[in-house]
Amino acid sequence: MGPIAVSAAIALGSGPKSAPEQNEEALWSIVQASSVERAAAAVQAAGGEFVRELSIIRAVSARLTPTQKQQLESQAGIDLHADHGVQVAGEVPETYYPSVVGPAELHEQGIDGYGVAIAVIDTGIWKKSGTQDNRYGDLRLIAQYDVILDRLDPSHYDDANPDYTDDIHDYSGHGTHVAAVAVSSDQTDAGRWQGIAPGADLVAVKAFDADGSVLYSDVIAAIDWVVDHKDEYGIRVLNLSFSAEPRSYYWDDPLNQAVMAAWRDGIVVVASAGNRGPDPMTVGVPGNVPYVITVGAMTDQYSPWDGSDDTLASFSSAGPTVEGHIKPDVVAPGGHMIAWLPDYGTIANEHPDFAYPLSPEYFEMSGTSQAAGVVSGVVALMLLHDRGGLWWLIPLAGVVAMVAFIVRAESQADEVIAGTALRAYRGGFWIVVLALVGEAFARSFGHQTADVPFIWALGLGVWVVIYGVGLWRLR
Protein backbone atom coordinates (compact mmCIF):
# COMPACT_ATOMS: atom_id res chain seq x y z
CA MET A 1 0.00 0.00 0.00
CA GLY A 2 1.70 3.18 -1.14
CA PRO A 3 1.69 6.48 0.71
CA ILE A 4 -1.77 7.97 1.03
CA ALA A 5 -2.26 11.70 1.36
CA VAL A 6 -3.99 12.80 4.50
CA SER A 7 -7.10 14.79 3.71
CA ALA A 8 -7.36 18.20 5.36
CA ALA A 9 -11.12 18.21 4.97
CA ILE A 10 -11.89 16.48 8.23
CA ALA A 11 -14.60 17.57 10.62
CA LEU A 12 -13.29 18.86 13.90
CA GLY A 13 -14.12 18.41 17.54
CA SER A 14 -15.77 21.04 19.68
CA GLY A 15 -13.98 24.10 21.01
CA PRO A 16 -13.58 27.82 20.35
CA LYS A 17 -13.25 28.45 16.64
CA SER A 18 -12.55 31.36 14.36
CA ALA A 19 -12.53 31.58 10.59
CA PRO A 20 -9.15 31.30 8.88
CA GLU A 21 -7.77 34.57 7.67
CA GLN A 22 -8.70 35.42 4.12
CA ASN A 23 -6.73 33.49 1.47
CA GLU A 24 -4.82 31.59 4.13
CA GLU A 25 -5.25 27.85 4.53
CA ALA A 26 -5.52 26.56 8.06
CA LEU A 27 -2.99 23.78 8.70
CA TRP A 28 -3.13 20.95 11.20
CA SER A 29 -0.71 21.74 14.03
CA ILE A 30 0.35 20.59 17.48
CA VAL A 31 0.93 23.38 19.99
CA GLN A 32 3.03 22.41 23.01
CA ALA A 33 3.61 24.43 26.19
CA SER A 34 4.32 24.01 29.88
CA SER A 35 0.69 22.93 30.35
CA VAL A 36 -2.32 22.01 28.27
CA GLU A 37 -4.12 25.09 29.58
CA ARG A 38 -1.36 27.42 28.43
CA ALA A 39 -1.22 25.80 25.00
CA ALA A 40 -5.00 26.10 24.57
CA ALA A 41 -4.95 29.72 25.72
CA ALA A 42 -2.19 30.53 23.24
CA VAL A 43 -4.17 29.02 20.37
CA GLN A 44 -7.28 30.93 21.38
CA ALA A 45 -5.37 34.19 21.75
CA ALA A 46 -3.93 33.79 18.27
CA GLY A 47 -7.39 33.15 16.81
CA GLY A 48 -6.62 29.55 15.93
CA GLU A 49 -9.06 26.67 15.87
CA PHE A 50 -8.77 24.38 18.92
CA VAL A 51 -9.37 20.68 18.18
CA ARG A 52 -8.48 18.55 21.23
CA GLU A 53 -6.26 18.25 24.25
CA LEU A 54 -3.10 16.12 24.10
CA SER A 55 -2.42 16.09 27.81
CA ILE A 56 0.16 13.28 27.65
CA ILE A 57 2.63 15.74 26.07
CA ARG A 58 1.18 19.01 27.51
CA ALA A 59 -0.16 20.07 24.12
CA VAL A 60 -3.26 20.67 22.03
CA SER A 61 -4.19 19.89 18.46
CA ALA A 62 -5.24 22.93 16.46
CA ARG A 63 -5.71 24.37 12.99
CA LEU A 64 -3.64 27.48 12.40
CA THR A 65 -3.06 29.79 9.46
CA PRO A 66 0.55 30.70 8.60
CA THR A 67 -0.01 34.10 10.22
CA GLN A 68 -1.30 32.52 13.42
CA LYS A 69 1.61 30.04 13.46
CA GLN A 70 4.08 32.90 13.06
CA GLN A 71 2.44 34.69 15.98
CA LEU A 72 2.71 31.61 18.22
CA GLU A 73 6.29 30.86 17.15
CA SER A 74 7.32 34.25 18.48
CA GLN A 75 6.09 33.39 21.99
CA ALA A 76 8.56 32.03 24.52
CA GLY A 77 7.69 28.60 25.91
CA ILE A 78 5.50 27.65 22.95
CA ASP A 79 6.63 24.85 20.61
CA LEU A 80 4.88 24.24 17.30
CA HIS A 81 4.90 20.96 15.38
CA ALA A 82 3.22 20.10 12.11
CA ASP A 83 0.49 17.50 12.65
CA HIS A 84 2.03 15.07 10.17
CA GLY A 85 0.29 12.10 8.63
CA VAL A 86 1.21 8.57 9.70
CA GLN A 87 0.88 5.38 7.68
CA VAL A 88 0.24 1.83 8.85
CA ALA A 89 3.34 -0.28 8.17
CA GLY A 90 2.22 -3.40 6.39
CA GLU A 91 0.79 -4.92 3.29
CA VAL A 92 1.52 -7.69 1.07
CA PRO A 93 -0.45 -15.47 2.84
CA GLU A 94 0.72 -19.40 5.53
CA THR A 95 0.18 -19.40 9.20
CA TYR A 96 3.45 -21.06 9.91
CA TYR A 97 4.85 -18.15 11.86
CA PRO A 98 4.00 -19.73 15.23
CA SER A 99 6.15 -22.68 14.16
CA VAL A 100 9.03 -20.34 13.41
CA VAL A 101 8.69 -18.55 16.78
CA GLY A 102 8.01 -21.80 18.69
CA PRO A 103 5.39 -20.94 21.35
CA ALA A 104 3.61 -24.33 21.18
CA GLU A 105 5.55 -25.80 24.13
CA LEU A 106 4.72 -22.73 26.23
CA HIS A 107 1.05 -22.99 25.27
CA GLU A 108 1.03 -26.58 26.54
CA GLN A 109 2.37 -25.33 29.88
CA GLY A 110 -0.42 -22.75 30.15
CA ILE A 111 1.85 -19.83 29.23
CA ASP A 112 -0.40 -18.26 26.63
CA GLY A 113 -0.70 -14.60 27.63
CA TYR A 114 -3.72 -15.07 29.89
CA GLY A 115 -4.30 -11.99 32.01
CA VAL A 116 -1.93 -9.79 29.99
CA ALA A 117 -3.69 -7.15 27.88
CA ILE A 118 -2.23 -6.01 24.56
CA ALA A 119 -3.41 -2.63 23.33
CA VAL A 120 -3.32 -2.29 19.54
CA ILE A 121 -3.53 1.24 18.15
CA ASP A 122 -4.54 0.76 14.53
CA THR A 123 -7.56 0.76 12.20
CA GLY A 124 -9.97 -0.95 14.61
CA ILE A 125 -11.00 -4.56 15.03
CA TRP A 126 -13.26 -7.02 13.23
CA LYS A 127 -15.01 -9.03 15.90
CA LYS A 128 -14.50 -12.68 15.12
CA SER A 129 -14.25 -15.61 17.51
CA GLY A 130 -10.45 -15.70 17.40
CA THR A 131 -10.03 -12.05 18.31
CA GLN A 132 -13.13 -11.65 20.45
CA ASP A 133 -12.58 -14.70 22.67
CA ASN A 134 -9.44 -16.27 24.10
CA ARG A 135 -8.52 -19.97 23.91
CA TYR A 136 -10.78 -20.72 26.90
CA GLY A 137 -13.85 -19.17 25.27
CA ASP A 138 -13.78 -16.14 27.59
CA LEU A 139 -14.28 -12.62 26.27
CA ARG A 140 -10.82 -11.19 25.58
CA LEU A 141 -11.78 -8.02 23.69
CA ILE A 142 -12.19 -6.12 26.93
CA ALA A 143 -12.26 -2.54 25.59
CA GLN A 144 -12.61 -0.62 22.34
CA TYR A 145 -12.04 3.08 21.78
CA ASP A 146 -12.43 5.15 18.61
CA VAL A 147 -10.18 8.21 18.66
CA ILE A 148 -11.50 9.58 15.37
CA LEU A 149 -15.13 9.31 16.50
CA ASP A 150 -14.25 11.02 19.77
CA ARG A 151 -12.72 13.89 17.78
CA LEU A 152 -15.60 14.21 15.36
CA ASP A 153 -18.32 13.67 17.95
CA PRO A 154 -16.99 14.20 21.49
CA SER A 155 -20.46 13.61 22.92
CA HIS A 156 -20.29 9.96 21.85
CA TYR A 157 -18.20 9.16 24.90
CA ASP A 158 -20.09 10.54 27.88
CA ASP A 159 -17.54 11.94 30.33
CA ALA A 160 -19.70 10.85 33.25
CA ASN A 161 -20.03 7.25 32.11
CA PRO A 162 -18.00 6.45 28.98
CA ASP A 163 -18.80 3.14 27.29
CA TYR A 164 -15.72 1.41 25.91
CA THR A 165 -17.54 -1.80 24.96
CA ASP A 166 -19.21 -0.43 21.82
CA ASP A 167 -18.05 -2.06 18.60
CA ILE A 168 -15.58 -0.10 16.46
CA HIS A 169 -15.48 -1.51 12.96
CA ASP A 170 -12.30 -2.01 10.99
CA TYR A 171 -12.95 -0.58 7.53
CA SER A 172 -9.34 -1.14 6.53
CA GLY A 173 -8.45 -4.62 7.81
CA HIS A 174 -4.91 -3.76 8.88
CA GLY A 175 -5.67 -3.59 12.61
CA THR A 176 -7.56 -6.88 12.58
CA HIS A 177 -4.76 -8.62 10.70
CA VAL A 178 -2.09 -7.43 13.15
CA ALA A 179 -4.21 -8.29 16.20
CA ALA A 180 -4.95 -11.78 14.83
CA VAL A 181 -1.24 -12.45 14.34
CA ALA A 182 -0.64 -11.56 17.98
CA VAL A 183 -3.55 -13.25 19.73
CA SER A 184 -5.73 -15.41 17.46
CA SER A 185 -7.29 -18.29 19.39
CA ASP A 186 -8.37 -20.19 16.30
CA GLN A 187 -6.78 -23.60 15.98
CA THR A 188 -5.31 -25.32 12.99
CA ASP A 189 -6.37 -28.81 11.95
CA ALA A 190 -3.31 -30.06 13.82
CA GLY A 191 -4.54 -28.41 17.04
CA ARG A 192 -2.00 -25.59 17.12
CA TRP A 193 -3.05 -22.06 17.99
CA GLN A 194 -2.80 -19.59 15.15
CA GLY A 195 -1.79 -16.62 17.29
CA ILE A 196 1.32 -16.22 19.39
CA ALA A 197 -0.56 -15.43 22.62
CA PRO A 198 -4.02 -17.05 22.29
CA GLY A 199 -4.88 -16.42 25.93
CA ALA A 200 -4.07 -12.72 26.06
CA ASP A 201 -6.60 -9.93 26.45
CA LEU A 202 -7.04 -7.37 23.69
CA VAL A 203 -7.76 -3.65 23.79
CA ALA A 204 -8.54 -2.20 20.35
CA VAL A 205 -7.92 1.50 19.87
CA LYS A 206 -8.98 2.89 16.50
CA ALA A 207 -6.91 5.85 15.38
CA PHE A 208 -6.50 5.17 11.65
CA ASP A 209 -9.10 5.60 8.91
CA ALA A 210 -10.12 3.13 6.20
CA ASP A 211 -7.08 4.08 4.10
CA GLY A 212 -4.66 3.44 6.96
CA SER A 213 -3.86 7.11 7.45
CA VAL A 214 -4.05 9.32 10.50
CA LEU A 215 -2.84 12.55 12.03
CA TYR A 216 -0.11 12.72 14.64
CA SER A 217 -2.59 14.16 17.11
CA ASP A 218 -4.92 11.17 16.70
CA VAL A 219 -2.13 8.74 17.57
CA ILE A 220 -1.04 10.88 20.52
CA ALA A 221 -4.63 10.99 21.79
CA ALA A 222 -4.80 7.19 21.40
CA ILE A 223 -1.62 6.69 23.44
CA ASP A 224 -2.94 9.12 26.04
CA TRP A 225 -6.11 7.02 26.38
CA VAL A 226 -4.10 3.81 26.71
CA VAL A 227 -1.96 5.26 29.50
CA ASP A 228 -5.02 6.62 31.31
CA HIS A 229 -6.72 3.19 31.22
CA LYS A 230 -3.76 0.83 31.56
CA ASP A 231 -4.55 -0.11 35.17
CA GLU A 232 -8.27 -0.47 34.50
CA TYR A 233 -7.74 -3.01 31.71
CA GLY A 234 -4.37 -4.46 32.73
CA ILE A 235 -2.59 -3.13 29.64
CA ARG A 236 1.03 -4.33 29.73
CA VAL A 237 1.89 -4.23 26.02
CA LEU A 238 1.28 -1.50 23.43
CA ASN A 239 1.52 -2.49 19.75
CA LEU A 240 2.28 0.31 17.29
CA SER A 241 2.29 -1.16 13.77
CA PHE A 242 2.79 2.07 11.86
CA SER A 243 5.56 4.35 10.79
CA ALA A 244 6.16 7.97 9.86
CA GLU A 245 9.24 9.59 8.40
CA PRO A 246 11.40 11.22 11.10
CA ARG A 247 11.54 15.00 10.84
CA SER A 248 13.50 15.82 13.99
CA TYR A 249 15.58 14.22 16.71
CA TYR A 250 13.53 11.50 18.35
CA TRP A 251 13.16 13.40 21.62
CA ASP A 252 11.68 16.47 19.89
CA ASP A 253 9.00 14.53 18.02
CA PRO A 254 5.62 14.93 19.78
CA LEU A 255 4.44 11.42 18.87
CA ASN A 256 7.65 9.98 20.27
CA GLN A 257 7.18 12.04 23.44
CA ALA A 258 3.82 10.33 23.95
CA VAL A 259 5.41 6.92 23.30
CA MET A 260 8.13 7.64 25.87
CA ALA A 261 5.48 8.69 28.38
CA ALA A 262 3.80 5.29 27.92
CA TRP A 263 7.16 3.58 28.40
CA ARG A 264 7.82 5.56 31.58
CA ASP A 265 4.43 4.43 32.84
CA GLY A 266 5.54 0.80 32.68
CA ILE A 267 4.03 -0.26 29.35
CA VAL A 268 6.19 -2.36 27.02
CA VAL A 269 5.98 -0.59 23.66
CA VAL A 270 6.46 -2.65 20.49
CA ALA A 271 6.83 -0.67 17.25
CA SER A 272 7.33 -1.68 13.65
CA ALA A 273 10.52 -0.49 11.99
CA GLY A 274 8.75 0.49 8.78
CA ASN A 275 8.67 -0.81 5.22
CA ARG A 276 11.16 1.54 3.54
CA GLY A 277 14.09 -0.87 3.44
CA PRO A 278 16.56 -2.13 2.63
CA ASP A 279 18.36 1.21 2.61
CA PRO A 280 20.01 2.27 5.87
CA MET A 281 18.63 5.00 8.13
CA THR A 282 15.04 4.27 7.08
CA VAL A 283 13.56 3.36 10.49
CA GLY A 284 10.54 5.56 11.09
CA VAL A 285 8.71 7.17 13.99
CA PRO A 286 8.13 5.80 16.62
CA GLY A 287 10.53 2.93 15.91
CA ASN A 288 13.45 5.34 16.26
CA VAL A 289 12.81 5.71 20.01
CA PRO A 290 15.60 3.86 21.85
CA TYR A 291 13.30 2.77 24.69
CA VAL A 292 10.84 0.77 22.57
CA ILE A 293 11.23 -2.66 21.00
CA THR A 294 11.60 -1.88 17.31
CA VAL A 295 10.79 -4.84 15.08
CA GLY A 296 12.09 -5.61 11.63
CA ALA A 297 10.75 -8.36 9.38
CA MET A 298 12.35 -11.63 8.23
CA THR A 299 11.06 -14.20 5.82
CA ASP A 300 11.38 -17.97 6.00
CA GLN A 301 11.24 -18.27 2.19
CA TYR A 302 8.13 -20.46 2.56
CA SER A 303 10.16 -23.12 4.40
CA PRO A 304 9.41 -22.66 8.12
CA TRP A 305 11.01 -26.05 8.86
CA ASP A 306 14.36 -24.88 7.50
CA GLY A 307 16.03 -21.95 9.25
CA SER A 308 19.09 -21.98 7.04
CA ASP A 309 17.40 -19.99 4.30
CA ASP A 310 15.78 -17.34 6.52
CA THR A 311 16.66 -13.82 5.43
CA LEU A 312 15.86 -10.24 6.30
CA ALA A 313 12.86 -9.12 4.27
CA SER A 314 13.89 -6.69 1.55
CA PHE A 315 11.20 -4.18 2.55
CA SER A 316 12.21 -4.07 6.23
CA SER A 317 13.56 -0.67 7.26
CA ALA A 318 17.11 -0.59 8.55
CA GLY A 319 19.09 1.53 10.97
CA PRO A 320 20.94 3.17 12.41
CA THR A 321 18.87 6.14 13.44
CA VAL A 322 20.15 9.64 12.86
CA GLU A 323 21.12 9.73 16.56
CA GLY A 324 23.25 6.60 16.09
CA HIS A 325 21.00 4.01 17.77
CA ILE A 326 21.12 0.50 16.33
CA LYS A 327 17.68 -0.40 15.06
CA PRO A 328 15.69 -2.56 14.68
CA ASP A 329 16.17 -4.32 18.01
CA VAL A 330 14.81 -7.66 16.80
CA VAL A 331 13.43 -9.23 13.66
CA ALA A 332 10.42 -11.53 13.52
CA PRO A 333 8.38 -13.31 10.87
CA GLY A 334 6.83 -10.68 8.62
CA GLY A 335 6.66 -12.27 5.19
CA HIS A 336 3.54 -13.95 3.73
CA MET A 337 1.67 -13.80 7.07
CA ILE A 338 -1.78 -15.39 7.08
CA ALA A 339 -4.53 -14.00 9.29
CA TRP A 340 -8.09 -12.94 8.80
CA LEU A 341 -9.41 -9.48 8.03
CA PRO A 342 -12.84 -8.13 7.07
CA ASP A 343 -13.80 -8.84 3.49
CA TYR A 344 -15.57 -5.47 3.34
CA GLY A 345 -12.42 -3.50 4.17
CA THR A 346 -10.15 -1.42 1.99
CA ILE A 347 -7.37 -4.02 1.84
CA ALA A 348 -9.73 -6.83 0.80
CA ASN A 349 -11.35 -4.66 -1.87
CA GLU A 350 -8.15 -3.20 -3.28
CA HIS A 351 -6.06 -6.38 -3.05
CA PRO A 352 -8.29 -9.39 -3.72
CA ASP A 353 -5.12 -11.20 -4.80
CA PHE A 354 -4.06 -11.23 -1.12
CA ALA A 355 -6.93 -13.61 -0.31
CA TYR A 356 -5.82 -17.05 0.88
CA PRO A 357 -7.18 -19.62 -1.58
CA LEU A 358 -8.23 -22.13 1.08
CA SER A 359 -10.32 -19.69 3.14
CA PRO A 360 -11.94 -16.46 1.93
CA GLU A 361 -11.65 -14.83 5.38
CA TYR A 362 -7.88 -15.17 5.49
CA PHE A 363 -5.49 -12.86 3.70
CA GLU A 364 -1.74 -13.11 3.20
CA MET A 365 0.19 -9.95 3.90
CA SER A 366 3.79 -8.93 4.52
CA GLY A 367 5.19 -6.11 6.56
CA THR A 368 6.90 -5.03 9.74
CA SER A 369 3.39 -4.42 11.08
CA GLN A 370 2.80 -8.15 11.21
CA ALA A 371 6.29 -8.71 12.63
CA ALA A 372 5.46 -6.28 15.45
CA GLY A 373 2.28 -8.27 16.12
CA VAL A 374 4.39 -11.41 16.53
CA VAL A 375 6.69 -9.70 19.03
CA SER A 376 3.77 -8.21 20.98
CA GLY A 377 2.46 -11.75 21.41
CA VAL A 378 5.90 -12.96 22.51
CA VAL A 379 6.16 -10.14 25.07
CA ALA A 380 2.76 -11.17 26.50
CA LEU A 381 4.10 -14.72 26.93
CA MET A 382 7.24 -13.41 28.63
CA LEU A 383 5.28 -11.23 31.01
CA LEU A 384 2.99 -14.11 31.90
CA HIS A 385 5.97 -16.42 32.41
CA ASP A 386 7.53 -13.92 34.80
CA ARG A 387 4.25 -13.49 36.59
CA GLY A 388 3.80 -17.26 36.65
CA GLY A 389 7.18 -17.66 38.25
CA LEU A 390 6.25 -15.26 41.02
CA TRP A 391 2.55 -16.13 41.17
CA TRP A 392 3.10 -18.15 44.33
CA LEU A 393 3.93 -14.92 46.15
CA ILE A 394 0.32 -13.78 45.82
CA PRO A 395 -1.33 -16.68 47.66
CA LEU A 396 1.59 -16.84 50.07
CA ALA A 397 1.04 -13.19 50.95
CA GLY A 398 -2.51 -14.07 51.94
CA VAL A 399 -1.30 -17.08 53.91
CA VAL A 400 1.27 -14.91 55.71
CA ALA A 401 -1.44 -12.61 56.97
CA MET A 402 -3.88 -15.40 57.87
CA VAL A 403 -1.35 -17.65 59.58
CA ALA A 404 0.19 -14.78 61.52
CA PHE A 405 -3.25 -13.65 62.64
CA ILE A 406 -4.13 -17.19 63.77
CA VAL A 407 -0.85 -17.58 65.62
CA ARG A 408 -1.37 -14.30 67.38
CA ALA A 409 -5.01 -15.06 68.18
CA GLU A 410 -4.14 -18.48 69.58
CA SER A 411 -1.36 -17.11 71.73
CA GLN A 412 -2.60 -13.84 73.18
CA ALA A 413 -1.77 -15.10 76.65
CA ASP A 414 1.89 -15.46 75.76
CA GLU A 415 3.51 -12.11 75.09
CA VAL A 416 6.60 -13.69 73.51
CA ILE A 417 4.60 -15.75 71.02
CA ALA A 418 2.30 -12.83 70.26
CA GLY A 419 5.31 -10.67 69.54
CA THR A 420 6.78 -13.34 67.31
CA ALA A 421 3.52 -13.54 65.34
CA LEU A 422 3.30 -9.78 64.95
CA ARG A 423 6.85 -9.60 63.63
CA ALA A 424 6.02 -12.46 61.25
CA TYR A 425 3.00 -10.56 59.96
CA ARG A 426 5.18 -7.57 59.24
CA GLY A 427 8.19 -9.43 57.96
CA GLY A 428 6.69 -11.80 55.41
CA PHE A 429 6.47 -15.44 54.60
CA TRP A 430 9.94 -16.59 55.60
CA ILE A 431 9.70 -14.94 59.00
CA VAL A 432 6.39 -16.73 59.47
CA VAL A 433 8.08 -20.01 58.63
CA LEU A 434 10.92 -19.31 61.05
CA ALA A 435 8.48 -18.26 63.74
CA LEU A 436 6.45 -21.42 63.34
CA VAL A 437 9.55 -23.61 63.26
CA GLY A 438 10.81 -21.86 66.37
CA GLU A 439 7.50 -22.41 68.12
CA ALA A 440 7.55 -26.06 67.05
CA PHE A 441 10.91 -26.50 68.73
CA ALA A 442 9.59 -24.71 71.79
CA ARG A 443 6.58 -27.04 71.87
CA SER A 444 8.84 -30.07 71.59
CA PHE A 445 10.48 -28.90 74.80
CA GLY A 446 7.15 -28.64 76.64
CA HIS A 447 5.90 -25.23 75.53
CA GLN A 448 2.11 -25.81 75.23
CA THR A 449 0.68 -22.28 74.81
CA ALA A 450 -0.08 -22.57 71.05
CA ASP A 451 -1.54 -25.37 68.99
CA VAL A 452 1.29 -25.40 66.46
CA PRO A 453 0.22 -28.54 64.53
CA PHE A 454 -3.24 -27.06 64.03
CA ILE A 455 -1.72 -23.84 62.73
CA TRP A 456 0.54 -25.71 60.34
CA ALA A 457 -2.32 -27.82 58.98
CA LEU A 458 -4.67 -24.84 58.61
CA GLY A 459 -2.00 -22.67 57.00
CA LEU A 460 -1.09 -25.42 54.53
CA GLY A 461 -4.76 -26.00 53.71
CA VAL A 462 -5.36 -22.30 53.08
CA TRP A 463 -2.24 -22.11 50.94
CA VAL A 464 -3.36 -25.08 48.81
CA VAL A 465 -6.84 -23.58 48.31
CA ILE A 466 -5.58 -20.11 47.39
CA TYR A 467 -2.83 -21.46 45.18
CA GLY A 468 -5.27 -23.78 43.44
CA VAL A 469 -7.71 -20.95 42.80
CA GLY A 470 -4.84 -18.80 41.60
CA LEU A 471 -3.69 -21.42 39.13
CA TRP A 472 -7.25 -21.94 37.91
CA ARG A 473 -7.64 -18.23 37.33
CA LEU A 474 -4.21 -18.01 35.72
CA ARG A 475 -4.99 -20.74 33.20
Angle formed at CA 367 by CA 366 and CA 370, multiple of 5 degrees: 90
Write out the H or E segment, with its range, that includes residue 259: helix 254-264
Q: What is the secondary structure of 340-354 as a DSSP string?
A: E--TTSHHHHH-GGG
Give the amino acid at 136: Y
Q: Evaluate the CA torsion angle 331, 332, 335, 339 in order and state its sign.
A: negative
The catalytic residue among 83, 112, 122, 170 is 122
- Rounded-to-integer distance, Cα 201 and Cα 141, Å: 6
Closest C-alpha to 253, from 213, 221, 285, 208:
285
The catalytic residue among 81, 84, 169, 174 is 174
The strand pair at 85-88 and 59-64 is best described as unpaired
Helix extents (H) in 78-215: 97-101, 104-108, 129-132, 147-152, 174-183
Is-catalytic flag, 186? no
The catalytic residue among 185, 369, 376, 411 is 369
Contacts of 137 (CB under 8 A, 6+ apart): none
- Rounded-to-integer distance, Cα 180 and Cα 198, Å: 9
- Rounded-to-integer distance, Cα 232 and Cα 154, Å: 21
Is-catalytic flag, 55? no
- Cα dihedral value 374, 376, 379, 384, nearest 10: -100
3-state secondary structure of 152: helix
Is-catalytic flag, 385? no
What are the residues facing 337 on neighbouring strands? 365
Which residues are annotated as catalytic?
Answer: 122, 174, 369
